[in-house]
Amino acid sequence: MNHKMRKSIIIFGVNGQVGHSLVLALHSYTNIIPISRKNVDISDIDKLSILLNNFDIIPDLIINASAYTAVDKAEKEIDLCNIINNKSVEIMALYCKNKNIPFIHYSTDYVFDGDNSNYTEIDIPNPLNIYGKTKLLGEQAIQEINPTHFIFRTSWVYDFGRTNFLSAMLKLSQSKDEIKVVNDQFGTPTWSMTIANITAYIINSYIFTKKHDQIKDYSGIYNLVSEGDTNWCDYAKKIFEYANINIKVVGIPSLEYPMPAKRPKYSILNVEKIKKTFNIDIPMWEDALKCCLYAYN
Ligand SMILES: NC(=O)c1ccc[n+]([C@@H]2O[C@H](COP(=O)([O-])OP(=O)(O)OC[C@H]3O[C@@H](n4cnc5c(N)ncnc54)[C@H](OP(=O)(O)O)[C@@H]3O)[C@@H](O)[C@H]2O)c1
C-alpha cells in the first residue's frame, strides 16, 4: 500500500486502554491522527468542535475510545460524566454525519441492569448507575444523529500495567497472603488488544473496502467481548494461576464489599451478531488473559 492510499483515522482517547491498543493494531495500515487530553479536553464542547473543524484534512473515519470510566466517582461527578460520555459524543457523531464518514464508538455492559445472563443487542437497556446512564445517552445520541456508526459494547476491559482489576490483583498479591474477592457478579473480562484487533479487522476488511452505502448496511450496535464468562473471584484465581502467584483467594458476596455505584449482577454479552456479521472467531477470555500475561509479564 503506498502512502497516498493510506486512509486517515482520528482516534480520541489514545492514552486509554482501548485507545492505546487501537494505535498498536491500526498503525501499520492506516494514518493515525492521535488525540489525547493534551490536544483537547473533550469536556469542553466548544474546544472539541473547534478542534474537529480545524483539521487540515477530513479523516476517513473517527474512533472515539475516550470516556469517563471512573464508575464510582461518576455518582458524584454526574455533569462531567454526562458531558464526556454523552455531549462530546454527540459533537463527534454530528461531525461524522456532516462529513459523511463512519464513526466508531465504544459502550458498555453497564447499560443493562444485570438480570439476564446473555444480553443481545436488541435487549432493552436499564442502567443501574450514572456511568451506565450516560453511556446509554451517548449511544442514543449517535443513533439519533445517525452517521454510519458502529457502537461496540464491551465489558471488564483490561490491559497490562494500567488501572484495572488485573493490575489491582497483581499489586495486592505483593503484600497479602489472602485476598477476598466478590463472587456474585458475573461478566466477561476483555483484553483491550482483543477489542482493538477486532475493530481493526472490521475497519480493514469492511469499512475501508466497501462503498459508503454498503457500509451503512452494517451500521448499529455490536457486542464486542471475549467468549465465556466468569465472576470477579474466579477471574482473580485465573490471574494468579497464569501469573504463577501462590495466594489464597476467598469468594465473598458483593454485600460485604459495598461500592458507591451499583453494578449489574449478570451482564454477559452475547457475541453471535458480531461473529456472524463479520465472519470472525473471538478468543475465550482465559486464552486472551494468558496471552496478555505472556506478552507483558
Ligand atoms: N474499562 C472498562 O472496564 C470498560 C468496560 C466496558 C466498556 N468500556 C468502554 O470502553 C471504552 C474504552 O475504555 P478504556 O478502558 O480504554 O478507558 P480508559 O482506559 O479509562 O481510557 C479513557 C480515555 O479517555 C480519556 N478522557 C477521559 N476524559 C477526558 C477528557 N475530558 N478529555 C480528553 N480525554 C479524556 C482519558 O484520558 P486520560 O488518560 O488523560 O485520563 C483516557 O485516555 C470506553 O468507551 C468505555 O466506556 C470500558
Q: What is the pLDDT of residues 266-284, one digit of tens each?
A: 999 999 999 999 999 999 9
**Residues with active-site annotation:** 131
> What are residue 258's phi and psi, to 5 degrees?
-65, 140
Query: Cβ(86) to ligand 1 under 6 A?
Result: no
Rounded-to-integer distance, Cα 247 and Cα 233, Å: 13
User: 282: which residues sit within 8 A by CB, 6+ positions away?
Assistant: 194, 198, 225, 226, 227, 271, 274, 275
- Give residue-wise pLDDT tens across range 187-240: 999 999 999 999 999 999 999 998 777 899 999 999 999 999 999 999 999 999
Cβ(18) to ligand 1 under 6 A? yes
Angle at 222 between CA 156 and CA 278, to 5 degrees: 115
Neighbours of 293 (CB within 10 A): 19
Report the domain count for the chain: 1
pLDDT confidence of residue 151 = 98
Task: Of 121, 131, 236, give the one whose Cα is nearest residue 185.
Answer: 236
| DSSP structure class, residue 148 | S
Return phi, psi of residue 155, to 5°: -155, 155
Q: Is 41 in the pocket of ligand 1 (CB under 6 A)?
A: yes
Residue of 10, 11, 12, 18 with the most ligand 1 atoms within 8 Å of its CB, for mutation? 18
Does some domain include residue 177? no
pLDDT at 4: 56
pLDDT at residue number 246: 94
| Diameter of the chain measured on Cα atoms | 58
CA geometry: angle 33, 35, 39, nearest 5 deg = 125
CB contact at 8 A, 35 and 11: yes
Report which protein residue has its CA nearest ligand 1's atom 33: 37
Question: How close is the Cα of 178 to the center of ligand 1, in Å?
Answer: 31
Query: What range defines the domain where residue 18 resides?
Result: 3-160+189-228+268-283
**Would you say the CB of residue 157 lies under 6 angstroms from ligand 1?**
yes
User: Which pLDDT band holds residue 5 (cuts at 50, 70, 90)?
Assistant: confident
Q: Is residue 246 part of a domain?
A: no
CATH code for the domain of 139: 3.40.50.720
- Residues sharing a CB contact under 8 Å with residue 293, sequence separation 6 or more, in sequence order: 160, 239, 242, 243
- What is the amino acid identity at position 14? V
Out of 11, 69, 73, 110, mutate this one to test ligand 1's pocket (max ligand atoms within 8 Å of CB): namely: 69
SS3 content of the chain, % helix, strand, coil (to 5): 45, 20, 35
Give pLDDT, residue 244.
94
Q: What is the mean pLDDT of residues 50-71?
A: 95
**Does residue 68 form part of some domain?**
yes
The Cβ of residue 72 has, within 10 Å, a number of other Cβ atoms equal to 13
13 Cα: distance to centroid of ligand 1 (angstroms) = 6
What is the tens place of the pLDDT at every residue in 136-182?
Answer: 999 999 999 998 999 999 999 999 999 999 999 999 999 999 999 99
Helix (H) or strand (E) holding 291: helix 285-296
Report if residue 121 sits inside a domain. Answer: yes
Radius of gyration of the chain (CA): 19
Dist CA 104 CA 125 (whole Å): 20
The reported pLDDT for the residue numbered 258 is 86
Closest ligand 1 atom to residue 21 Cα is 16
- Give me the pLDDT at residue 117, please: 80
112 lines ligand 1 (CB under 6 A): no
The DSSP call for residue 227 is B
| 13 closest CA partner among 4, 5, 22 | 22
Q: Tell me, yes or no, whether 89 lies in a domain.
A: yes
Pull the grid cell for residue 28: 501499520
What's the CA gap between 154 and 295, in Å, rounded? 22
- Distance between CA atoms of 9 and 178, rounded to whole angstroms? 46
For residue 240, tell me if it sits in a domain.
no
pLDDT for 1 equals 46
List, for residues 62-121, the tens digit of each pLDDT value. 999 999 999 999 999 999 999 999 999 999 999 999 999 999 999 999 999 998 889 999
Q: Which helix (H) or strand (E) holds 152?
A: strand 149-154
Binding site membership of 134 for ligand 1 (Cβ less than 6 Å): no
Residue 168 maps to a domain: no
Give the number of the atom of ligand 1 that is nearest the alpha carbon of residue 66.
Answer: 24
- Regarding the beta carbon of 61 and ligand 1, being less than 6 Å apart is answered no
Residue 236 lies in a domain: no
92 near 62, Cβ under 8 Å?
yes
What pLDDT does residue 178 have?
95
Residue pair 281/275 in contact by the 8 Å Cβ criterion: yes
